[in-house]
Amino acid sequence: MNYWLVKSEPDAFSWQEQITNDVEPWTGIRNHQAKKNLQSMKNGDLAFFYHSNVGKEIVGVVRIVKEAYPDPTAPDQKWFCVDVKTVCSVPNPVTLKQIKATPGLEEISLIKQSRLSVMPIAPEHWKILCQLGHVSEEDLKK
DNA sequence: GCCAACGTTGGC
DNA sequence: GCCAACGTTGGC
């Protein structure tokens, strides 16, 4: 079981739309490191849904329900996407400001590689972020 | 293969 | 709107 964080600009695709759609193909990744991360995702892995640019906060949790396959929105076969399913909203959204101010989260990729749109989250970081967001173990089983 | 120019992302 | 970080493109 691995943990991840994926970014989306709410103007392009928001958490509200994710809730409405329930299962959504995570397309449009055109960065090699992000692609590598996508291809490492396994069914059942969990990922935080982060709103970049507007909000700048973790607003939800999704589960990987279909592992990497060729991105239908890509011009060729070299880019991939996964399908993600809505798990739960984060009751108390965790802001970037909060993450930066929290001891133990200094090394998180969100801060160190601010432009990366798909990144792994260490289990200990996942735990801290869940606490900050008031996300319970029960919520994650949904 | 190097590097300047340019484009994009994303925080402020 | 600005700018830093970083990726890509294209001339040499």
Nearest nucleotide, C1' to the C-alpha of A30? C7
Distance (Å, whole) CA A57 – CA A121? 15
**Sheet with strand A80-95: strands edge to edge:** A23-26, A80-95, A57-70, A46-51, A3-8, A118-121
Q: What is the pLDDT of residues A7-32, one digit of tens each?
A: 999 999 999 999 999 999 999 999 99
pTM of structure? 0.94
For the segment A71-104, what is each residue's pLDDT rounded down to a tens digit?
998 877 889 999 999 999 999 999 999 999 999 9
Name the domain count of chain A.
Answer: 1
Q: Residue A135 sits in which domain range? A: 3-140
Domain CATH code at residue A53? 3.10.590.10
Nucleotides of B under 7 A from a protein CB: 8-12
